[in-house]
Amino acid sequence: MPFRLRFLLAGILLAACFAACSPNHQTGETCSDYTPPPTFDAKAPAVSFKNDVMPIFKGSCAFTACHGLQGSNNGVYLGDDIDAVHESLFNRRSAELPTMPFVTAGDPNASYLQKKIDGSQCILDAQCVDRTCGLPMPKDDDMLPIQMRDTIRRWIAQGAKND
């Protein structure tokens, strides 16, 4: 392989790794995008917003200091009113990343909410205001267990219905 071609390929690989594996300047940890394992099925089991997703929000996000009050924290309300919660996630974009909706029905990978709860929002830092997408959610706490994150991922993949 000619030297120029090897040099070009090395540069492309380095740039790709920098984009996907760069240190998260918020936490100092390496940042990478979460990819579900090959065994993950986004279509099954069926997920209900009311019965499966709302309890996760209520137990992990709906506190007064977090997303329990309407109009708080980036306008994301995850409190008791199911219709208001659903509405706060649609047709809204984060002040941190105005180019990506909080929820893109059918596409968890294009949903800022999913990036934040997976802790992979840092891969988008270059696109975020002030070049930071902030901390993962829940803030100042351990990440949600993968089963809860996958429930939200399935809900989004299944169309993010208000059901």
The tokens describing 77, both together, are: 């309300």
Give the gyration radius of the chain's Cα atoms: 17
The Cα 119–Cα 160 span in angstroms is: 20
Predicted confidence at residue 28, as pLDDT, reads 57
Q: SS3 for 101?
A: strand
* 3-state helix/strand/coil string of 18-39: HHHHCECCCCCCECCCCCCCCC
Residuewise pLDDT in 10s, the chain (163 residues) = 554 444 333 333 333 333 444 444 444 568 999 999 999 999 999 999 999 999 999 988 877 777 767 877 777 888 999 999 999 998 789 889 999 999 999 999 999 999 999 999 999 999 999 999 999 999 877 899 999 999 999 999 999 999 9
